[in-house]
């Protein structure tokens, strides 16, 4: 084969490789616990700005050719550091007034996963979950053991008072008053503030990842672990599908919600949107639970079902423009999302 011929073959191969490159997509949520009458213009503006910033930071990773996991951690640390969300700073309180945080990540291409639960000194639990995956032989570490591991691998620790915000404290006081009067929570279980943050990403190599971080449910017993940090329940990714959930965690654990969505996609070839809607809007409510989820497949299809008054959410793809929504039927992320990236 002459040199020219060889070069032509190499050029053809690289064009083929480029044309197979996937358009990256990042989808995030900031929880399904939105209660319309608790919202005001300033809060909405701050939430939308934080979601947009998280999308931009995460997408910068994907655009630079970095793996989906880098986009997940870049986006979620923004939301963990923002006290408007129930994760990291601004997490809800347990019944006895502590903050106990859970988080998990999963790499869809290798099925590797890492999780932490019941930590109260880790500034960004999503980074510790990733360190558990990449730097330990385990999938999940809890409490003091997780924090000792954080110290060893250099993940930032803070004083537990870092997580406290006055707003969350007042929410707990209200819940405790309602508990003591045996009154139902004013907004049903949504008042337990599902403000978990989550992300799913598809990188340029076509690989998926998922991550979720939370303060859990307000007024929970100390020691309670929710779905966010349980692989398959609130967080799951494989080669075909990635999911992060938000809602009443006990139901997500019992339905193994994130895994149930991905198995419909992977094994039964159910379209992503239908798979996600069946689990989130049929199976979970039929058992008495509620909440939402974000899901992404390997072709870039997005689903964002929820059955509460709103779910903080957003997505970003090739145009680099963050799309953000809070309530139902917002044009940016309604039907358009399905027609959007890769759709
Ligand atoms: N799913 C979380 C939990 O049960 C709560 C949330 O979504 O905010 O811990």
Which CATH number goes with the domain that contains 253?
3.60.20.30
Helix, strand, or coil (residue 231): strand
pLDDT tens sequence across 50-77:
999 999 999 999 999 999 999 999 999 9
Look-up of token digits 């988080």: 103
Distance, CA 246 to ligand 1 centroid (Å)? 5
pLDDT at 186 over 80: no
Q: Is residue 145 part of a domain?
A: yes
pLDDT at 185 over 80: no
Q: Is residue 3 part of a domain?
A: no
Cα–Cα nearest to 211, from 301, 110, 108? 108
Judge whether 196 counts as a catalytic residue: yes
Look-up of token digits 């996600």: 276
Residues 6+ apart with CB under 8 A from 194: 31, 32, 33, 86, 217, 246, 247, 248, 291, 292, 308
Q: Is residue 338 part of a domain?
A: no
Return the higher-pLDDT residue of 120 and 331. 120
Please indicate whether residue 94, judged by its CB atom, sits closer than 6 Å to ligand 1: no
Q: Is residue 82 part of a domain?
A: yes
- Give the helix/strand (H/E) hosting 26: strand 25-29
Q: Is residue 20 part of a domain?
A: no
Residue 317, both tokens: 């793809």
pLDDT at 265 over 90: yes
- Phi and psi angles of residue 323, each rounded to the nearest 5 degrees, phi first: -110, 125
Angle CA 267–268–271, to nearest 5 = 115
Q: In what order do the strands lie in the sheet with 323-327?
A: 140-142, 112-119, 101-107, 208-214, 197-202, 25-29, 310-316, 323-327
Please indicate whether residue 247, judged by its CB atom, sits closer than 6 Å to ligand 1: yes
Distance, CA 303 to ligand 1 centroid (Å)? 19
Q: Is residue 74 part of a domain?
A: yes
Alpha helices in 230-318 (DSSP H): 249-254, 257-268, 272-277, 284-287
The chain-wide mean pLDDT, for the chain, equals 89
| Confidence tier at 39 by pLDDT (50, 70, 90) | confident
pLDDT of residue 255: 98
Provide, rounded to the nearest whole percent, the portion of the chain with pLDDT above 90: 75
Q: How many domains does the chain have?
A: 1
Q: Is residue 30 part of a domain?
A: yes
Distance, CA 265 to ligand 1 centroid (Å)? 24
Please indicate whether residue 341, judged by its CB atom, sits closer than 6 Å to ligand 1: no
pTM value is 0.89
**Domain range holding 264?**
26-333
CA 32 – CA 172 distance, rounded (Å): 18
Residue 69, both tokens: 């996991």
Cα–Cα nearest to 105, from 292, 304, 244, 313? 244
Q: Which of 30, 93, 94, 246 for mutating ligand 1's site (highest number of atoms within 8 Å of CB)?
A: 246
Q: Is residue 17 part of a domain?
A: no
Helix, strand, or coil (residue 62): helix
Mean pLDDT (whole number) for 84-98? 92
| Confidence tier at 249 by pLDDT (50, 70, 90) | very high
Lowest-pLDDT range, 184-188, 250-254, 281-285, 294-298?
Answer: 184-188
pLDDT at 34 over 90: no
């Amino acid at each position: 084969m002459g040199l020219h011929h060889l070069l032509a073959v190499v050029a053809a191969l690289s064009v083929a490789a480029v044309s197979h490159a996937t358009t990256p997509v990042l989808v995030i949520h900031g929880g399904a616990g939105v209660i319309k009458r608790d919202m005001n213009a300033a809060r909405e503006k701050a939430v939308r700005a934080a979601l947009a910033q998280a999308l931009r930071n995460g997408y910068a990773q994907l655009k630079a050719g970095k793996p989906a996991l880098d986009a997940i951690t870049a986006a979620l640390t923004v939301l963990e550091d923002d006290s408007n969300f129930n994760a990291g700073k601004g997490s809800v309180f347990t019944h006895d007034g502590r903050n106990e945080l859970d988080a998990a990540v999963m790499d869809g291409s290798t099925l590797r996963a890492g999780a932490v639960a019941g930590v109260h000194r880790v500034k960004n639990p999503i980074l510790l979950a990733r360190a558990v995956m990449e730097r330990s032989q385990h999938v999940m570490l809890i409490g003091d053991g997780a924090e000792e591991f954080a110290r060893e691998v250099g993940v930032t620790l803070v004083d537990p008072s870092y997580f406290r915000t006055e707003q969350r404290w007042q929410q707990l006081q209200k819940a405790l008053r309602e508990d003591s009067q045996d009154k139902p929570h004013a907004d049903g279980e949504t008042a337990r503030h599902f403000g978990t943050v989550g992300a799913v990403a598809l990188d340029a190599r076509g690989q998926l990842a998922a991550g979720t971080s939370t303060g859990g449910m307000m007024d929970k017993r100390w020691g309670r672990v929710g779905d966010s940090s349980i692989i398959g329940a609130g967080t799951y990714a494989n080669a075909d599908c990635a999911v992060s959930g938000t809602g009443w965690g006990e139901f997500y654990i019992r339905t193994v919600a994130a895994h149930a969505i991905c198995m419909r996609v992977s094994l039964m070839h159910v379209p992503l949107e239908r798979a996600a809607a069946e689990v989130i809007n049929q199976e979970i409510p039929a058992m008495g639970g509620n909440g939402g989820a974000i899901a992404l497949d390997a072709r870039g299809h997005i689903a964002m079902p929820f059955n509460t008054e709103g779910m903080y959410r957003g997505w970003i793809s090739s145009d680099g423009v963050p799309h953000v929504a809070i309530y139902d039927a917002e044009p940016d992320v309604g039907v358009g999302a399905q027609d959007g990236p890769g759709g």
